[in-house]
Amino acid sequence: MDKWLDAGLGCCVLKNPDVRKVVNDTFYFFNEERYILHSFVIMPNHVHVLVELLGENTINNVLHSWKRHSANTINRMLGKKDQFWEHESYDRIIRDKTHYKMVMKYIIDNPKSLDPDSYTLMITKNNKEK
């Protein structure tokens, strides 16, 4: 399944740069208020995000906010009313610096075989220096 996703197969609505911009802007909306974005990649058919939660914010609340806002905006743009995101998300807790670097590398490497115009990759300045 991961190979198919990473190859950009299936429904690839995120390949559209306007759709990716909605997701990108959604991630940045509460950045440094509810969470700190460390990196993300918006692939043609899925997304990976490395985020540090702040305060009492939970991953479930942040994901719900991202999904709700971006889905509503994208569906309006596309003239659709379909479910946009999967209900489930595959989240994990970063255990240590080694795990952090492994996840960062995975995010950076994930789109390497794709056309550069088909994805959006963001790495914070701090992470470029690590």
Q: What is the pLDDT of residues 38-88, one digit of tens each?
A: 999 999 999 999 999 999 999 999 999 999 999 999 999 999 998 999 998
Q: Return d(Cα 100, Cα 50) in angstroms, integer.
A: 9
User: Using an 8 Å Cβ cutoff, are 43 and 111 in contact?
Assistant: yes
Residue 100 has pLDDT above 90, yes or no: yes
Helix intervals (H) in 13-78: 17-29, 59-78
Which domains, from first to last, does the chain contain? 2-124 (3.30.70.1290)
Is pLDDT larger for residue 21 or for residue 130? 21
- pLDDT at position 130 is 43
pLDDT digits (tens, 9 = 90+) for 108-127: 999 998 899 999 999 986 66
Confidence check: pLDDT of 1 > 60: no
pLDDT given at position 8: 54
